[in-house]
Chains A and B, each alone.
Chain A
Amino acid sequence: EDQVTQSPEALRLQEGESSSLNCSYTVSGLRGLFWYRQDPGKGPEFLFTLYSAGEEKEKERLKATLTKKESFLHITAPKPEDSATYLCAVFYGGATNKLIFGTGTLLAVQP
């Protein structure tokens, strides 16, 4: 069964304390991996799409990387406004058009 596992479930950081979030997947034939940010009571906000192992993308303090089995979202010198739930999702195409989401990592950045 195709699964997406995110770790840790929750992470508390001090402002400026860099860290990484993990997303591992067991999907065969991955065609894309998505990272989203979700604030409480809102829909997910698109951050990155990664298509192939070795690919990296950056946006402000965030950097996403992809290997054949997992993706990392690196957060450099986070600020309190980076506090949110970070979701990853995989797309493998074929007969389906759905994204398979992980359960997310709840990030809290304290000043």
Chain B
Amino acid sequence: DTGVSQDPRHKITKRGQNVTFRCDPISEHNRLYWYRQTLGQGPEFLTYFQNEAQLEKSRLLSDRFSAERPKGSFSTLEIQRTEQGDSAMYLCASSLAVGSDGYTFGSGTRLTVV
């Protein structure tokens, strides 16, 4: 296992288009998190899964955003009708337990909305 994988690494899309990102967590980690990071800021929490259940969503996760984790393995984050303000780095992380050592982050997907 090489860590948390995210795909694609970069995505450029036109305003109004839909985009989908994928995250493959560390295989034994049952907890998965999505964060968003803009330039010069720290990551901001979006949502949390325990196995396949989405247990927490931030107010940042508007109705244009949807996340899934079918079968408790990989996860997808979809943004519908993208806006320029959605441009950011989208980070996925996984862990064995909440608050445990070593939330492991992926390298992120850089989204640019033009």
Q: B interface, how many residues as a size bin?
A: 20 to 34
For residues 72 through 94 of chain A, which have their beta carbon under 8 Å from a beta carbon of chain B?
87, 89, 91, 93
Are B44 and A45 in touch, CB under 8 angstroms?
no
Are A49 and B101 in touch, CB under 8 angstroms?
yes
Per-position binary interface string of chain A over residues 19-42, scored 1 when its CB falls under 8 Å from any chain B CB and 0 otherwise: 000000000000110101000011
Q: A interface, how many residues as a size bin?
A: 20 to 34
Across-interface contacts of B98 in A (CB, < 8 A): 91, 93, 97
Q: Chain A residues in contact with chain B, CB under 8 A? A: 4, 31-32, 34, 36, 41-46, 49, 87, 89, 91, 93, 96-104
> 17 more A-B contacts (CB under 8 A) besides A36-B105, A97-B31, A99-B43?
A31-B99, A32-B99, A34-B103, A43-B108, A44-B91, A45-B105, A46-B105, A49-B100, A97-B33, A97-B56, A98-B48, A99-B45, A99-B103, A100-B45, A102-B42, A103-B41, A104-B42
